[in-house]
Amino acid sequence: MAEQRPCPCGDGQDYQGCCGRYHAGTPAPTPEALMRSRFSAFVLKRDDYLLETWHPDTRPASLPDDDTTRWVRLEVLESGASGEQGHVHFRATFREGRRWAVLEEASRFVREDGRWYYLDGRPGVTRLKPGRNDRCLCGSGRKFKACCGMG
């Protein structure tokens, strides 16, 4: 798995130099880095990583099998940490077939023994109706009809 590919979190970096190293075991240094690596883990279906980085107090026993949701874009609006508490406010765009939606969440994180964990969040989901001539929701900068809306 040494090939170069852009990181799914959209940071513009190579996967190995971005979220890949956290998936390989390096502790994410900030709540935002952990959040980004968890988004990438959703994209790559790394359930093991998602559960590992979930705080034991709120961690589900397992994650639902979900083959229909495709996560396409992450935008971190605001993040920060004070002491062992952290927060990240983000928007994550996803599609289920031809239906698009954005999940916006203010998440809380805690640090224990030098590792950040996802604690919980208040998610809100909004349906999106991209127009054919709108900018594509994936963030490519192209028109929807010439990008993800093709076909």
- Contact footprint for Zn ion (CB under 5 A): 7, 9, 11, 18-19, 36, 136, 138, 140, 147-148
Closer of 35 and 138 to Zn ion (Cβ): 138
Residue 14 Cβ, how far from Zn ion at the closest point, in Å?
9
Query: DSSP secondary structure string, 125-141?
Result: EEEE---TTSBPTTS-S
Q: How many angstroms separate the CA atoms of 47 and 65, rounded?
A: 10
Closer of 12 and 83 to Zn ion (Cβ): 12
Q: Which two tokens stand for residue 43?
A: 């994209």
User: Which helix (H) or strand (E) is 52 found in, with range?
Assistant: helix 47-52
Residue 48 Cβ, how far from Zn ion at the closest point, in Å?
17
Closer of 88 and 148 to Zn ion (Cβ): 148
